[in-house]
Structure 1
Amino acid sequence: MRERVVVVIVTFNSARVLPGLLDSLPLGLEGADWSLVVADNDSADETVALVHRLAPGATVVEMGRNAGYAAGINAAVRAAGDFGAVLVLNPDVRLAPGCVRELLGVLDATGAGICVPRLEDSRGELILSMRREPTLLRAYADALLGAGRAGRVGALGEVVSDPGRYDVPGSPDWAEGSTQLIGAACWRACEGWDETFFLYSEETDYHLRARDRGFAVRYVPTARAVHLEGASASSPRLWSLLVANRLRLFRRRHTPAGAALFWLASLLREGSRSVLGHAIARSAVRVLVRPSLLAAPRGPEWLERV
Structure 2
Amino acid sequence: MSTAPTPESGDVVAVIVVTYNSAAVVPGLLESLGPGLAGLRWHLTVADNASSDGTAETVRRLMPAARVVETGRNGGYSAGINAAAAAAAPFTSVLILNPDVRLTPGCGQLLLDLLRRGDDGIVVPLVTMADGSPEHTLRREPTVLRALGDALLGAERAGRFPVLGEVVTDPAAYRRESRSDWAVGSALLVSGRCWSACAPWDESFFLYSEETDFALRARDAGFPTRLAPAARATHIGGDSRAAPWLWRLLTLNKVRLYRRRNGRAATAAYWAAVLLREVSRAALGSPTSRAAAAALLRPAALRETPGPPADQRATIGTGLNASA
Give TM-score scaled by structure 2 length.
Answer: 0.92
CA apart distance, 1:15? 0.6
Q: What is the RMSD computed on CA atoms of the aligned residues?
A: 1.4
Contact residue 49 and residue 75 of structure 2 kept, 8 A? yes
1:214 aligns with 2:217: no
Corresponding residue of 2:84:
76
Corresponding residue of 2:121:
113
Contact residue 112 and residue 217 of structure 1 kept, 8 A? no
Corresponding residue of 1:195:
203
Corresponding residue of 1:141:
149
User: Structure 1, unaligned stretches of length 5 or more?
Assistant: none
Corresponding residue of 2:318:
none
1:235 aligns with 2:243: yes
User: Structure 2, unaligned stretches of length 5 or more?
Assistant: 1-8, 314-324
Paired with 2:176 and 2:291, the residues of 1 have a C-alpha distance of 38
Divergent runs of 4+, >2 A: 299-305
Paired with 1:18 and 1:53, the residues of 2 have a C-alpha distance of 12
Paired with 2:195 and 2:66, the residues of 1 have a C-alpha distance of 21
Corresponding residue of 1:126:
134
Paired with 1:2 and 1:170, the residues of 2 have a C-alpha distance of 27
Paired with 2:137 and 2:72, the residues of 1 have a C-alpha distance of 31
Q: 1:86 aligns with which of 91, 94, 106?
A: 94
2:95 match: secondary structure? strand
1:4-153 equivalences under 5 Å are 4-153=12-161
Code of the residue aligned with 1:123 in structure 2: it is D
Code of the residue aligned with 1:165 in structure 2: it is A
Code of the residue aligned with 2:156 in structure 1: it is G
1:267 aligns with 2:300: no
Paired with 1:112 and 1:147, the residues of 2 have a C-alpha distance of 30
Paired with 1:174 and 1:261, the residues of 2 have a C-alpha distance of 22
Paired with 1:55 and 1:81, the residues of 2 have a C-alpha distance of 16
Aligned residues: 305
Q: Which has the higher contact order (CA 8 A, sep 6+)?
A: 2
Contact residue 50 and residue 71 of structure 2 kept, 8 A? yes
Paired with 2:160 and 2:186, the residues of 1 have a C-alpha distance of 23
Query: Which stretch of the first structure deviates more once superposed, 286-295 or 30-39?
Result: 286-295
1:178 aligns with 2:186: yes
2:301 match: secondary structure? helix
1:90-128, Cα deviation, whole Å (9 max, x unpaired) = 000000000010000000012231000000000111100
Code of the residue aligned with 2:275 in structure 1: it is L
